[in-house]
Structure formats: structure tokens, C-alpha cells
Amino acid sequence: MTSTATARHSAAMWTSLAVTCSQRSQVLRLTVINAPDVSKNNMDIEKRYGRRSPSSTPYFDCRVTTRRRKVKSAAIFAAFALYAAFLLKLLLFSRVPGSERSINLVPFASIAAYASSHAPGAARTGFANIVGNILIFISLGFYASWLRHRATTARIMLIVASISVAVEVLQGILGVGASDIDDVMLNSVGGFIGILALTLLTATLRTQSRVRSAVAALSLLAIPVWCYLLVVIRLHM
């Protein structure tokens, strides 16, 4: 075979190989184009029958999910109920009715009196009063923010302040404490801290299910504390 014939034979082989590759690539392209569109089929099924196909819908055990959700909600509401009972006992039922009745409508007057007093134990009493009024309303702001999670911060603060005002009015009517505007302000500060705590928790965990689990876990830890404060400790004010 001459060199010219060899060259022609080689060129024919390369041409045949190129045609074969081209045909295969066309077949592959046709296969990709004509492949069944699963998502489109699922959309057609959903549009026709009002539901998705079983293969496209993840399976969840609804009963287990609902049961866990109920347990978490029960823990949250139980802790909140115990906290509310403790708050009522502390603010309204820890003193003999008529034993104390005073009114202060001047902001910061009581705080200034505690700060300027030189009487023995005045500093400790003032510190306990200021810090205590803040601490006891942190949980209220936290739970109010959780229960009214769609409400704005201003609305939740209004709820906290309204509850504080109602307590101060009842204390004045029953004569079981001082109706003090400073207490309302300090209670509102505590409520805002509780709102801020839940906001930071939500921003950290991001998903609502994780936040619910965290709130439920905190509530389970708080239940023994509220029971101890409610039942064991005798409040002498």
C-alpha cells in the first residue's frame, strides 16, 4: 500500500470516528432533552389532584411531632403558671391587708431616697428593692414575648407596664404595699431585659422549632425553682 493510500485510509477512519462521536453526542443531547421532567410531572399531579406525588413529599410522623409539640407547650405553660402564682404571692399575698399603704407618683423619688439615706441597712434595702423589681419581671417579658411572638416590642412593653400598673393599684387598694411609679419603671426595665433575651435567643437559633425547644428546656429547669420559691420559702416583707 502506497503512502497516498495509507493517508486516504487514515483520513477515512478519522472521518468515520468523528461522525460516530457526533452522532453519540446528538443522542446524548436528545436523551437529556427528552428525559422526563420529574418536577413538572409533580406539578401536574399537584395541579390536577390537589396534592403532591408520594415520591416528592417527605414523610413525617405527624403523631410524634404533635406529641412533642404538646409536651413542649405544656412545659412552657406550666412554668409560666408557676411564675404567675409566685408573682401574685410575692406582690399581693405576702403581707397582711391594710398593713402598708403609700403612694408615690414622682419618678425616681424612691430611688433617690434610697441612695441618699444613711440609715443602717438602707443601702441593702434599696439595692434589694431596685434589683428585685427588675429581676421578678424578666420572666414576664420573656414569656409575654414568646406568647405574643407576632407583637411588636412596644406592644409587649405596654403589656408588661400595664400589668405592673395593675399590681401597684391593687397594692394601694388592698394596703399590702407601696404604690410607686419607680416600681413600674423598674418592672418595665426587667420586662425589656426578658424581651431582649428571647430576641437574642431567636436570632441565635434562627428556626422556630429550635427556639421552642430551648424555651421548653429553660421552662423545665425553671419549674423546680418556681415550686421552691412558691411553696418552701415563706415571704416576710
State yes or no: pLDDT of 51 exceeds 90.
Answer: no
With pLDDT > 70 as the criterion, what percentage of the chain qualifies?
71
Residues 6+ apart with CB under 8 A from 142: 194, 195, 197, 198
Give the amino acid at 80: F
- Greater confidence (236 vs 173) lies with 173
Half-sphere exposure of residue 73: CA atoms within 13 angstroms, side-chain side: 8
Residue 53: is its pLDDT beyond 60? no
> How much is the pLDDT for 49?
45
Residue 130's alpha-carbon distances to 137, 211, 235, in angstroms, are: 12, 30, 18
Per-residue pLDDT for 27 more than 50?
Answer: no
pLDDT of residue 61: 55
pLDDT score of 32: 39
The one-character DSSP state at 93 is S
pLDDT of residue 75: 95
Q: Give the list of residues 6+ apart from residue 176 with CB closer than 8 angstroms, or none.
A: 91, 92, 93, 94, 95, 96, 97, 98, 99, 100, 170
Stretch 92-106: mean pLDDT, rounded? 84
Total residue count of the chain as it appears in this document: 237
List phi, psi (to 5°) of 45: -65, -45
45 confidence band (pLDDT: 50, 70, 90): very low
Mean pLDDT, residues 173-199 taken together:
94
What integer pLDDT is reported at residue 116 of this predicted model?
A: 87
Q: Which residue would you say has higher pLDDT here, 44 or 91? A: 91
User: For the residues 22-49, what does the mean pLDDT come to?
Assistant: 45
Select from 90, 204, 200, 73 the least CA-distant residue to 137: 90
> Cell digits for 20?
460516530
Query: Chain-wide mean pLDDT for the chain?
Result: 79
Residue 5 pLDDT grade (very low, low, confident, very high; cuts 50, 70, 90): low
CB atoms within 10 A of CB 209: 13
H-type helices in the chain, by residue range? 3-33, 38-49, 62-91, 109-116, 122-135, 138-147, 153-174, 181-205, 208-227
